[in-house]
Amino acid sequence: MAEIACTGVSKLYGDSILAVDGIDLTFVSGRTTALLGPSGCGKSTLLRLIAGLEEPTAGTVSIAGDPPAALCRRGGLSIAFQDPCLLPWLTVARNVALGRKLARQAPDPQRVDQLINLVGLGGFQNARPAALSGGMRQRAAIARALITRPQVLLLDEPFGALDALTRRQLAQDLPPLWQEQDATALLVTHSVDEAVMLADRIVVLSPRPARVIADLAVPLPRPRDPETPAFRRLAGDVLAVLARGGEQAQSLAAQ
């Protein structure tokens, strides 16, 4: 079980840029949470703090009671960055397999193949990143994040570069992969539809500095269809919360 606990987490850059302000959140195993907020609000910073890539200025982050680095060292955490960050000298298959190598896990070519096919890159195993479109690279990066069967999966705008059809397909196909292994999944996005499509819970963040302005459950059955009235109604509600958060922030700034 890899429960993530953020307690009073703040991050200050330099003397004046407060990116994250006093976040108190807990993320439980087997659930997918979307961190939703406007561009530049500090969502990615929060994700980096949870991944242990940055230290909070105040507060603590723990995973299963330990600092994030402990789980990282055990190879139990995977992150798919906003930038696919594939190594240009490796083929798609080797880029995906790199995840296992870095996590000190035994090679598993069969699973590499299976994941590459699942993200729609079948036939591109031996292609290098330069030969792929932005969306294809993004899919390879998602496959790399999943290859280690992580206990904690962090996805930073993973579908940002994908076309609408692929995005919808992956949103149907991918969540079962991490749900079946009871992973704690955190998804950073600014797309309301993506959040409702993928998550069991949506945490809405304010414009910078990131503060929690709403914590909503997504009680829709899977697979989800964005055209259904229930989906649209929930998406509308979330959008309204997001808009109110923006207005509140503006009025606070004006004061």
Partner 1 sequence: MTAASRWAGLAALLALWQGLALAGDGWLLAGPVQVAEWLWSNPGPTGRATAATLGNAAWGFLLGNGAAIGLAGIAALWPRALTLVAGLALVVFCLPLIATGPILRVLMGPGDGPQIVLAALAVYYTTLIPLLAGLRAMPQAWLDLVQSYGRGRWAELVHVRARAALPYLLAGLQISAPAAILGAMVGEFTGAERGLGVLTIRFTRDLDVPALWAAATLAAGLSMAVYAGIGWLGRRALSDPPPVILAAPRPVRGSPARKAAQAALLIGVVLVLWWAAVAGLNPFFARRPPDVAAALLWAPDAAATRATLGAAVAQTAGLALPGYAAGLALGAGLAVLLTLRPGLAAVTVPLAVALRSIPIVTTAPLVVLLLGRGATGTLTLVALMVFFPAFVACQQGLAQAPGPILDLFRSHASGPLRQMLHVRIPAMLPALFASARMTVPAAILAATVIEWLATGQGLGNLMALSASVSDYDMLWLTMVAATLLSALLYWAVAWAEGRVLAVMATEQVRP
Residue 69 interacts with partner 1 (CB under 8 A): yes or no: yes
Among 9, 36, 81, 187, binds partner 1 (CB under 8 A): 81
Residue 164 interacts with partner 1 (CB under 8 A): yes or no: no
How far is it between the farthest Cα atoms of the chain? 59
Residue 17 interacts with partner 1 (CB under 8 A): yes or no: no
**Shortest distance in whole angstroms from residue 102 CB to partner 1:** 4
**Shortest distance in whole angstroms from residue 58 CB to partner 1:** 22
Give the x-and-dash track for 138-157 against partner 1 (CB under 8 A). ----------x---------
Nearer Cβ to partner 1 (148/189): 148
**Shortest distance in whole angstroms from residue 233 CB to partner 1:** 37
95: Cβ–Cβ under 8 A, 6 or more apart, which residues? 86, 87, 129, 140, 141, 144
Judged by CB under 8 A, how many residues of this single chain contact partner 1?
Answer: 25
What residues form DSSP beta bridges with 189?
36
Residue 196 interacts with partner 1 (CB under 8 A): yes or no: no
Residue 77 interacts with partner 1 (CB under 8 A): yes or no: yes
Residue 160 interacts with partner 1 (CB under 8 A): yes or no: no
Measured at the CA of 12, the angle between CA 156 and CA 4, to 5 degrees, comes to 45
Residue 51 interacts with partner 1 (CB under 8 A): yes or no: yes
Among 71, 192, 204, 216, binds partner 1 (CB under 8 A): 71
Which residues would be at the binding site for partner 1 (CB under 8 A)? 48, 51-53, 69-75, 77-79, 81, 83, 85, 87, 89, 98-99, 101-103, 148
